[in-house]
Amino acid sequence: MPFPDLIQPELGAYRSSVQMPGDFAAFWEATIAEARAVGGPVSIVPAETTLKVVEAFDVTFPGFGGHPIKGWLVLPAVRSGRLPLVVQYVGYGGGRGFAHEQLHWAASSYAYFRMDTRGQGSGWSLGATSDPVGTTPSIPGVMTKGVLDKNEYYYRRVFTDAVRAIDMLVAQDFVDGDRIAVCGGSQGGGIALAAAGIDARIKAAMPDVPFLCDYPRAVQKASRDPYLELVRFLAQHRDKKAKVFETLDYFDGVNFARQARAAALFSVAVMDDICPPSTVYGAFHAYGGADKSIEEYEYNNHEGGQAFQERAQMVWLASRFG
């Protein structure tokens, strides 16, 4: 297939034109404060597995609105003191899956938590968390749920869940609150960027082929869903373009990147026709942290680096967290 977007050197030179709303930081500070004020119970119970060298736990914690959000917590069975933490967010349509998946972080002596994504988890990996909030008219999927109002938009709830997961985890006596990392691929990468832009406790971010970045560019260049959900919505709601992009500015990874200061390791796939590579570079160049780098996979589509990138992440994070 041909390259669907810019290639080097034009790709590396691309800068996003997304503008940050003047009340962006205040909007997110108020949103997180509201969720914390609601609170809610936390449950951490042993998961039923045959795992021996790690311990797995079925976790429920309060997210946006106090709604119960699920996740898997995996810890090395032999441990002492407080552990560095890696929180992983999941790609579009997926859920937390099974507790025995993705064991390399716990096997490397990290506390590892994989957050379920509300209302998803039936596309390619199982989920267990509902989204008990209604929506205005929308295209199937979640990209347009509540998109005409920043207070009602779906990702306001998801990004709040992401920060509330960290609230829950840093309260545990096995987590080192000075060594917190977030990661994820595609949607998970976009959520990781949002969390890093909201929560200064995060010291390292590892977004892979991140989704939810540079929306105006993405809807012009993507040739596959989920961005095309927005295109189909706008094709019907012809008079709502300005309102839609006004809302999306509050949820754009480029703007979260501008606020983030954690060390960051990005990855991008140059043949990606789901998350156009220019949108990833838009977020990367906007990223506010001084310690940032990007791994480029020239001949890969949206799968990106996969195990190659996991290996790079393990080396990179060890060099920062020890």
Residues recognised as catalytic: 186, 272, 302
- Total residue length of the chain: 322
Q: Where are the alpha helices (DSSP H) in 39-186?
A: 104-107, 154-170
- What is the C-alpha to C-alpha distance for residues 272 and 207, in angstroms, rounded to an integer? 15
Three-state secondary-structure class, residue 293: strand
- What is the C-alpha to C-alpha distance for residues 178 and 82, in angstroms, rounded to an integer? 10
DSSP string, 215-247: HHHHHHH--SSSHHHHHHHHHH-TT-HHHHHHH
**Number of Cβ atoms within 10 Å of the Cβ of 292:** 17
What radius of gyration do the chain's Cα atoms show?
18
